[in-house]
Structure 1
Amino acid sequence: MPPRFVDLKREIAASYPDFEARVTRAWNEVLQQLDAASKEIVVEGQNVIPQVKFDDLAKLSPEEVEKIKRRGCVVIKDVVDDAEVAEWKASLDAFVQANPSVPGFPATDKQFFHLYWTKAQVLARAHPNVLKASSWLNELYHVKNTSGIEGVDLSTPLTYADRFRIRHPGVAWEVHPPHVDGGSIERWEDETFRTCFADILSGDWRKHDPYDLENRINAKSSLYGRPGQASIFRTFQGWLALGPTGPHQGTIRFFPDVLLSNAYLILRPFFSLKPTPVTENNLDAQNWQFDISKPDFPGIYGRDSGFTGPRPNDGSHPHLRLNETMTSVPEVNGGDMVFWHCDLVHSVETEHNGSGDSAVMYIPAVPTTPQNSEYVKRQRETFVKGVTPPDFEKTSPESEYGAGIATPDDIVGIVGKKAMGFQISVA
């Protein structure tokens, strides 16, 4: 890491009174809570991940909603009708077979496709139930201070064009180990983004609210313009299942405690193992010390003139016990959706031992904010032209593929059109 990141750590430390003492106390508390939470996650297994029916979203009890917020993830069942999803899956299969040159990986057996504007994808993003689910998730967030945040509407969803996968059985997949999206070193380097974690950095980690929107909406999650680094704010990332998939079938996995993982990830750069252990157990808090003498931010790596991560592992973030705690999502069917908080540690199973494709379309929940609205305007123009959306590495124009690529006329419904940035005039 660049030597200047030592200065960044010192700057952060100088921003909070009694920083060393307060974060050391917080660090010790977080390690103790992580130990207990990790054991609970292992015992509960897949039951730790909340599951609800789409038709029941408005009927959930406060306790059920609170569980979803603490876990930072949820399976929403029956969002889209089975038959409609089956048509989308069939059309995607036909499209990639008819266009073998479409960009994707692995190169010899493409399964993850850098495509954004197929008709199936556009129809799915504009589906009224998908947008209703997005709105419900957006409204789990709140704003403590409403001054100076004009242009925010949690009830009006926007769409973020992303890709899809059709993963085949028996193919090992090493490309998505545990990681967090939506910003890398920016969590510390961007002053506004850093403010989202002010309670953690002040030592009052229990007060940290992952659903406070106030500073999120202006945080810069892409300071370096690295391709593939989202500049839009997603309340929840998500995907729509195009068929059945489940544990050991190449599905997604979570560390299902967004409060604790945030506290640990944000504090981790300020602590290192003592040269001489006090006890034999390296996870013991006694073996760790406050240390801002080095520029490293564990789990953050230089890439493409910018940075990627956090990518925690058992070496960089041992207290997460990721080999034990990363929990696969329970079995889902076509039309079900899986969502996870923008800060949540997640990964994709390395192995797919099922008998059929594990196919999903990536569709996150995106609220209306000034920054997001500006992105969607630029995204709308790329849609009209049939080219790669702004956040992603440029590939050959999809408009060249002809049949199977959507046009604005394929978006049915006012809500879907608004979500894609098209102005709607009402007579």
Structure 2
Amino acid sequence: MATNSDAISFPPRFLELKREIASSYPDFEIRITQAWKEVIVELATVSAKIKQDGTQYIPQVNFDELDKLSAERVATIKRRGCVVIRDVVNDEQAIAWRESLKEFVRINPVDGTPVDDKQFFQLYWTKAQVQARANPNLLKANIWLNNLYHDNSGKKSQNVDLSVPLTYADRFRIRRPGVGWSFHPPHIDGGSIERWEDPIFRKCFGKILAGQWREHDPYDLQDRLDARSSLYGRPNQSTVFRTFQGWLSMSETGPTQGTLKVFPDVLLSNTYIILRPFFKPLVPVDSPDFLDPKNWAFDLTNSNFPGLWPRDGGWAGPSPTPISHPHMLLEETMTSVPKVSPGDTVFWHCDVVHSVETDHTGKEDSAVMYIPAVPYTAANFDYVQRQRECFLKAQRPPDFPKGEAEAAFIGVADVNDIDNDLGRKAMGLPITVA
């Protein structure tokens, strides 16, 4: 749920945080005011293109062509921050996983949302989920996605290996037609106020804060390796660095059928969202010139961080809205991903604004398993080791809300459901010896 920032009491220390940031960069006001004007102009241009192309603006590739893509197509995927990868898993296998999940929730007293019509499930260790995460094709796709990033930190040999994928256990949904969902409006995961408050995470956006926004590289690993995305221990706030969030489709689902929507330009959205707390409008929201850059001014007099709100002892968001982030034109630019079939995957960069369609107008269930791309880093592997212990006990993973373990359920996976060494290594398990 996104909330109007004017109705939120932000702590005074957030104003001090803004002033600290401002004092850290030479000519901060001059440089970011110019950057603000420039990004607003480019947002208008790109938004018009997104609106014109619609779903086709989202890049689409086949799994078997990943290593053959031209530099131009790869650059497009990186700029838009999202991609549909087709035929990663064969249709029959994906459908079989879906049916096994339906059976699992039928015979076990599982926890899910909505409570009276469960469709989003607090389950992590079913056989289908464990097998899917260990699927060699899916892990190879993850390796390709991880390698869209680069590491110039000098720590590569000990702290990161982009060719070693790790498993991050998440949930699944089987969404029924005709049921409205309102709990996934536009948002970014993997860090809220932490993007500004954590000094290392903030460095990931250093070029933006220096006014050199066109030089911002969302795929630079240097500071992400040590960035803290969860300072408050809030449930559902990932402590793992995911290069891309993603899901595997287990059904045929298209636009208007409860699918994913994205703002498909990670450079522009990062720039605008990071700069937004430092500017305020000079005219009312209903003014015909509200979006004109000349009607926005640099401001260091309030503690507001538009798009954030307090939750579970920490802060949720960024969740941009048409009011909090008007220049993103979200009602026109949040774009549904193309129609997918069972075995297709959808991935989006960890900074990409995304949402789930409110309505599902189709006739069949929309079913996906959430499976992100996670590279080997020291911090990620530490999490995987703790996650592995949860797996062996069929308990919920460390990042997720506490609740009933799955150990007593019928059909929970064990180590024998991971039948290949790449999958076992990704889960932090010993590899088999021939």
Say yes or no: TM over 0.5: yes
By how many angstroms is 1:404 displaced?
1.2
Q: 2:415 aligns with which of 394, 404, 408?
A: 408
- Answer yes or no: is 1:104 the counterpart of 2:112: yes
Aligned length: 425
What is the CA–CA distance in structure 2 between the aligned matches of 1:185 and 1:2, rounded to whole Å?
Answer: 12
Partner of 2:55: 46
Change (3 A) 1:367 1:148: closer
What is the CA–CA distance in structure 2 between the aligned matches of 1:296 and 1:384, rounded to whole Å?
Answer: 44
Give unpaired runs (5+ residues) of structure 1.
Answer: none
Q: 1:80 aligns with which of 81, 86, 89?
A: 89
What is the CA–CA distance in structure 1 between the aligned matches of 2:430 and 2:38, rounded to whole Å?
Answer: 50
What is the CA–CA distance in structure 1 between the aligned matches of 2:373 and 2:83, rounded to whole Å?
Answer: 12
Q: 2:425 aligns with which of 414, 418, 422?
A: 418
Partner of 1:24: 33
- Answer yes or no: is 1:67 the counterpart of 2:85: no
Contact 2:164 2:375 in 1 (8 A): yes
Letter in 2 for 1:64: R
By how many angstroms is 1:276 displaced?
7.3
Partner of 1:397: 405
SS at match of 1:162: coil
SS at match of 1:23: helix
Contact 2:153 2:221 in 1 (8 A): no
By how many angstroms is 1:303 displaced?
0.2
SS at match of 2:41: helix
Letter in 1 for 2:64: D
Instruction: List per-residue Cα deviations over 1:214-240 (Å, max 9, x = no partner).
Output: 111110000000000000000000000
Letter in 2 for 1:286: K
Q: 1:371 aligns with which of 358, 364, 379?
A: 379
Partner of 1:299: 307
Partner of 2:336: 328
Partner of 1:250: 258
By how many angstroms is 1:27 displaced?
0.3
Q: Which moved more, 1:347-356 or 1:146-155?
A: 146-155
Change (3 A) 1:397 1:276: closer
Contact 2:88 2:137 in 1 (8 A): yes
Letter in 2 for 1:56: E
By how many angstroms is 1:148 displaced?
7.0
What is the CA–CA distance in structure 2 between the aligned matches of 1:116 and 1:186, rounded to whole Å?
Answer: 27
By how many angstroms is 1:282 displaced?
0.4
1:253-264 pair list within 5 angstroms: 253-264=261-272
Contact 2:260 2:355 in 1 (8 A): yes
Identity of aligned residues (%): 61
Instruction: List per-residue Cα deviations over 1:111-160 (Å, max 9, x = no partner).
Output: 00010000000000000000000000000000123247623100010010
Give unpaired runs (5+ residues) of structure 2.
Answer: 1-9
What is the CA–CA distance in structure 1 between the aligned matches of 2:241 and 2:190, rounded to whole Å?
Answer: 7
Letter in 1 for 2:309: Y
1:145-164 pair list within 5 angstroms: 145-147=153-155, 150-164=158-172
What is the CA–CA distance in structure 2 between the aligned matches of 1:383 and 1:167, rounded to whole Å?
Answer: 26
Partner of 2:363: 355
- Answer yes or no: is 1:167 the counterpart of 2:175: yes
Instruction: Give the root-mean-square deviation of aligned CA atoms.
Output: 1.3
Q: Which runs of 4+ in 1 moved over 3 A?
A: none
Change (3 A) 1:58 1:276: closer
1:227-242 pair list within 5 angstroms: 227-242=235-250
- Answer yes or no: is 1:226 the counterpart of 2:229: no
By how many angstroms is 1:395 displaced?
1.2
Give me the TM-score of the superposition, normalised by structure 1: 0.98
SS at match of 1:220: coil
